[in-house]
Structure 1
């Protein structure tokens, strides 16, 4: 992996990537520039108000939209990863379900992810 997240000190981190090689479609850059990543991390860290505490209604709506957009992108990317796990790495449905969904019995859910990933790939 050529994208690095380095803990710098205390509760700080530095994210390093090469825009040309690691982010040719600009997804990482957009996640930073649009505050998608910031709002998503705030939602992860706030157990009660999922990052909306103290925000105006319009800002809360905007924050939620950006978090949902990043979530949707990550869901598409993970579906494509499932396609690669199955087609390239030849993992069984059971093994993928156990790893990705933490439940080997959720093979039908993994197959739905696979089908979604194939659609995103145009297959």
Structure 2
């Protein structure tokens, strides 16, 4: 992603869901090691990687981290969970875990 690509602010806050900025459309994801066991898991891995990178870039833009925007390497290790009930989308459990992880990442970046 180009360093001049604008980062959009987080959407309106919801009491149950942390406010997350949308990943830029120009983001490029490149798997380095291994691959997901299914298309669903590949989508989930991509969602995690793009959101974590966006949180890092947003944190840099807000001045929490003194650095130029550059590539971000995200390592992802997700426990395999039965894929029943997601019907092409995320299950409630996957949504909860995702929002919990993103809240933790935001907290860690705020401490930097």
Same fold (TM over 0.5): no
Rg larger in structure: 1
The TM-score with structure 1 as length reference comes to: 0.26
The TM-score with structure 2 as length reference comes to: 0.29
Question: Which has the larger share of strand?
Answer: 1
Question: Which has the larger share of helix?
Answer: 1
